[in-house]
């Protein structure tokens, strides 16, 4: 998995950032046409609440069906889980439980 950072943008901040980047490109300040246009497209796809509309809840329900039901892992997905659209699907944010005993055992094993 590649390194990633999550940044939350509300609708107005997202639009401001998109306009700034787009205007920088159009005015010649930025000359990375393919990289910038690809970035802007990815930025648009990642603003999922608008992109998915009513389907956000369906994405969350499908993720719950696949990963929370009939499994012996303790995984929980909130109703307002963050979503990120990529070309191949949708990443759905989830909570994964690790109890103290498991954590302490793993920390001890890694320190040796």
Q: What's the pTM value of the predicted model, to 2 decimals? A: 0.53
**Does one domain contain both 59 and 110?**
yes
Q: What would the DSSP string read from start to end of 21-55? A: HHHHHHTTS---HHHHHHHHHHHHHH-HHHHHGGG
Q: Residue 71: which domain range? A: 54-112
**Does one domain contain both 64 and 109?**
yes
**CB-neighbour burial class of residue 60 (10 A; exposed 0-12, middle 13-18, buried 19+):** buried
**Segment-wise mean pLDDT, segments of 10 residues, the chain, 112 residues:** 60 76 62 61 60 78 89 86 80 91 93 86
Domain count, the chain: 2
| Nearest of 9, 94, 85, 5 to residue 48 by alpha carbon | 85
Q: Using alpha carbons only, what angle is made at residue 67 by residues 62 and 71, rounded to the nearest 5 degrees?
A: 135
**Does one domain contain both 70 and 93?**
yes
């Amino acid at each position: 998995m590649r390194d990633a950072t999550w940044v939350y943008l509300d609708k107005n901040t997202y639009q401001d950032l998109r306009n700034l980047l787009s205007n920088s490109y159009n005015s010649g300040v930025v000359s990375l046409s393919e990289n910038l246009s690809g970035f802007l497209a990815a930025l648009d796809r990642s603003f999922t609440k608008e992109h998915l509309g009513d389907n956000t809840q369906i994405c969350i329900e499908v993720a719950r069906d696949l990963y929370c039901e009939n499994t012996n892992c303790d995984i929980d997905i909130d109703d307002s889980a963050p979503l990120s659209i990529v070309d191949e699907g949708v990443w759905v944010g989830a909570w994964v439980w690790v109890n103290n005993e498991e954590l302490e055992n793993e920390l001890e094993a890694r320190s040796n």
